[in-house]
């Protein structure tokens, strides 16, 4: 399942996949795979992404 909330939050901060990847300590390909729904990140990575985007886990990763 695509993570459109992650993509939207990243775009709202005018941040590239590469910039988010560097802040989260992963590769750009990992961020791309998460956005496409091809990779299920660990909770540690989810937290790092949320901190980089100034969002909560619920805002980015909770499925409705």
- Confidence at 1, pLDDT banded by 50, 70, 90: confident
Residue found under tokens 């989260």: 24
Can you tell me the distance from the alpha carbon of 49 to that of 25, in angstroms, rounded to the nearest whole number?
A: 9
Structural domain total, the chain: 1
Question: Any idea what the CATH number is for the domain that residue 44 is in?
Answer: 1.10.260.40
Looking at residue 46, what is its pLDDT?
Answer: 98
Looking at residue 50, what is its pLDDT?
Answer: 98
Whether residue 52 is contained in a domain is answered as yes
Whether residue 64 is contained in a domain is answered as no
* Domain range for 54: 4-59
For the chain, strand residue ranges (E) read none
Whole-angstrom Cα Rg for the chain: 10
pLDDT, tens digit, 9 for 90 and up, residues 5-54? 999 999 999 999 999 999 999 999 999 999 999 999 999 999 999 999 99
Query: 64 is written with which tokens?
Result: 């409705």
Q: Is the pLDDT of residue 64 over 80?
A: no
Whether residue 15 is contained in a domain is answered as yes
Whether residue 30 is contained in a domain is answered as yes
């Amino acid at each position: 399942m695509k993570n459109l909330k992650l993509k939207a939050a990243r775009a709202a901060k005018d941040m590239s996949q590469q910039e988010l990847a560097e802040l989260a300590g992963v590769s750009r390909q990992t961020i791309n795979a998460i956005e496409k729904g091809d990779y299920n990140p660990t909770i540690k990575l989810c937290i790092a992404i949320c901190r980089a985007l100034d969002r909560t886990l619920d805002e980015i990763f909770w499925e409705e």
